[in-house]
Amino acid sequence: MAENAAAPLPLLTPFRLRGLTLKNRVVLSPTMLQAADDSGLMGEFHRVHLGSRAMSGVGLLIAEMTAVSPQARMTRKDLGLWNDQQQAALAGVVDFVHRYTGAKFGLQLGHAGRRGAVQPGWTPADRPLTEGAWPLLSASALPYLPGVSALPAELDRAGMDAVRDDFVAAAQRAARAGVDWLELQAGHGFLLSSFLSPLSNLRSDGYGGSLEARLRFPLELAAAVRAVWPAERPLSLRLSATDWVEGGTTVDDAIEMARRFHAVGVDLIDVSTGEVSPAQRPVYGRMYQTPMADRIRNEGGVPTIAVGAISEADQINGVIASGRADLCAVGRPLMADPGWLHRELAGLGRGGLDWHPAYEMAGQQFERALARNTQKA
């Protein structure tokens, strides 16, 4: 349409990081689907879910937290990347995204730590398995939900070496599978997060106490992953920028953490908050985590993804145009509606996203109809 010849909307501007260029600034946020089985394989559900969201027009999709070992899982239905069969299944989905869409494929690697061996999140969340549970690990021997969760063992140096090596091996598998972008999960109370927060790290050795000490193992692990992850491919890290608990991690702490991770090769911080402690008192609201992404980007000098209660294209335009973040991740709107981004842009009277040739005729009609409805309104 003629109006597409005008300057592109901020969310439609390309973004380049290392050797990768995203066609726009919209990211499908990693969201736990818990739709695998004990094998940890990406299956037909993941091919349809991720494939349809890749066709939605996003520049980058990041698949859910994928366990680096069987003991790193949160539930029995988590994805895994510790064997050849899992790598092959992942490669098949990556190939579909690359073959049929213009999106780039990201994968989040993680270890559930003291939040592991629980039932799927809708049963309700964080309730321990009644049978078949596996031993848990954390920075300190503190349960996630006091009186409910299993007691984790404090991770010793040999355990740190094993976990680090599991992340490295999984990163190498992801590279061989063709993944474009890798993210490390260091937020939300999972294993790496448990080292970072003073609420969950009560160690008295060289890995606890000061922020410098709490960072030591996560920084070591991030540097080891960066060393094997291809130099031309970006590495991001999910961080809980505040615990929402007095005495926990603050945004000032998160700014320093971001600088330190950036110094060892993490290119960008995916800025979330909370889920570190059940005592949290979050302050929810529209784009409620964007101010943290803004501070880390502009005070810390580290590129960021803003995420959390971002539900409109105009919100993304504002965040990008004002320099509050480099990318914006959208979760629930795209979970509910794979056509969300097309719908948002058409509602603004703009196109700008490619349709797959099989959908082009329907897409043009869809955009015209929504644009007319917007003008009438």
Of 18, 17, 93, the C-alpha closest to 61 is 93
Percent of the chain's residues with pLDDT above 90: 86
Q: Do the domain assignments include residue 352?
A: no
Q: What are phi and psi of 67, to 5 degrees?
A: -70, 140
Q: Do the domain assignments include residue 369?
A: no
Beta carbons of 132 and 146 less than 8 angstroms apart: no
Q: Is 155 helix (H, G, I), strand (E, B) or coil?
A: coil
Q: Do the domain assignments include residue 189?
A: yes
Q: Do the domain assignments include residue 196?
A: yes
Q: Could you give the C-alpha distances from 141 to 42, 126, 190, 193, 206, in angstroms and in order? A: 32, 17, 14, 14, 16
Q: Do the domain assignments include residue 371?
A: no
Of 77, 70, 67, 36, the C-alpha closest to 190 is 67
Number of folded domains that form the chain: 1
Q: Do the domain assignments include residue 358?
A: no
Report pLDDT digits (tens) over 333-360: 999 999 999 999 988 877 778 888 888 8
Q: How far apart are CA 97 and CA 151, in angstroms?
A: 40
- Look over the chain and give the mean of its residue pLDDT values, rounded to a whole number: 94
Write down the pLDDT at residue 4: 46
Q: Is 259 helix (H, G, I), strand (E, B) or coil?
A: helix
Write down the pLDDT at residue 5: 55
| Residue 130 lies in domain | 2-338
Give the CATH number of the domain where residue 238 resides.
Answer: 3.20.20.70
Structure tokens at 342: 């097309």
Q: Is the pLDDT of residue 3 over 50?
A: no
Report pLDDT digits (tens) over 275-315: 999 999 999 999 999 999 999 999 999 999 999 999 999 99
CA 31, 33, 39 angle in degrees (round to 5)?
Answer: 125
Measured between its terminal Cα atoms, the distance across the chain in Å is: 20
User: What is the model's pTM?
Assistant: 0.95
Q: Do the domain assignments include residue 351?
A: no
